[in-house]
Amino acid sequence: APPRIEVIPLFEDVPSMLGAAGILEEYLADKEATDQRVFLARSDTAMNYGLVSAALANKIALTDFDELSRRIGVKLHPILGMGSAPFRGGLAPHTAQRVGAEYPSVVTFSIQSAFKFDYPVDEVRAACEHLKARVIGPADAIDRERATDIIERYSAAYRTRVVELAPLVNRMAT
């Protein structure tokens, strides 16, 4: 058994992401950490709140993590879990440069099986090398008030449409 287990906090829904920095600060309060990894979901968040809400919630959390890191002196190393399909984040070998630039503070991108198995091996390797070699910087600034308003309106509209479409999707799935 290891003498100590390190936990990587995971945030998977919009409300948690909007409060992630506060939750993380409370988590770190009784620890002597100098570095902390933190995981933000993108795929499941998009399925539950829609693409726009997932992207904006990720960006708010990343901006908040930068501010928290400066304030408490703990280096935060964000992980972002994305899928290859555009709806699930759009991280594919041919989009790795764009996604890496869009999320400059993300240290690690977790990839799903489509990234690995749906593309030629050379493209996958090149994309992974690009993501590993890129310079990590601060998160892009975001207007939190405006983004939160968009998240609330978009999520409500998205959920209405999903409920309306669910019977059709279920019929097609069978």
**pLDDT tens, 71-99?**
999 999 999 999 888 888 899 999 999 99
Q: Which of 2, 143, 9 is nearest to 76 (CA)?
A: 9
pLDDT at 166 over 90: no
- Helix, coil or strand: residue 36: strand
Using CA of residue 93, residue 94, residue 99, residue 100, what is the dihedral sign?
A: positive
Question: One-letter amino acid identity for 98?
Answer: R
pLDDT at 5 over 90: no
Task: Scan for tokens 């799903």, then name that residue.
Answer: 112
Distance CA 12, CA 16 (A): 7
Mean pLDDT taken over the chain: 94
Cα dist. 4→1, 34, 90, 109 in Å? 8, 16, 36, 25
Q: Which residues contact 11 (CB under 8 A, 6 or more apart)?
A: 17, 20, 23, 38, 39, 40, 41, 61
Summarised one tens digit per residue, pLDDT across range 51-62 is: 999 999 999 999
Distance CA 13, CA 53 (A): 10
Q: Is the pTM of this model over 0.85?
A: yes
Summarised one tens digit per residue, pLDDT across range 95-150 is: 999 999 999 999 999 988 888 899 999 999 999 999 999 999 999 999 999 999 99
Q: Tell me what the mean pLDDT of segment 33-45 comes to.
A: 94
Distance CA 77, CA 62 (A): 10
User: Would you say 68 and 76 are in contact if contact means Cβ atoms under 8 Å apart?
Assistant: yes
Strands 35-41 and 10-11: parallel
pLDDT at 68 over 90: yes
Q: Which of 151, 141, 143 is nearest to 57 (CA)?
A: 151
